[in-house]
Amino acid sequence: MSSRTYMSSLERDLKSPTIHKLAELCEVMDVHPLTLLTLAYVGDSAHQADELLARVRQELEAVLKESDTP
């Protein structure tokens, strides 16, 4: 799937994965892509993760509500 060189370049922030590659990596790691994205934004702070996920939930509900209105 991915070479050690590619993985190393991701870890060293020399490259950024595409959404497709992120999904492949998450499948191998058996985690949801949003888990990795959340970690990228908040690190290991559970409190910040809770705040971010609450915001995402609120924004998602607003977007879905807007798409339901004609």
pTM: 0.68
pLDDT for residue 62 = 95
Closest Cα to residue 55, out of 22, 47, 33? 47
Q: pLDDT for 23-64, tens place per residue?
A: 999 999 999 999 989 998 898 899 999 999 999 999 999 999
Structural domain containing residue 6? 1-30
Are residues 25 and 50 located together in one domain of the fold? no
> Does one domain contain both 67 and 38?
yes
6 plus 38 within the same structural domain: no
23-31 contact pairs (CB < 8 A, 24+): 25/1, 28/1
Q: How far apart are CA 60 and CA 49, in angstroms?
A: 16
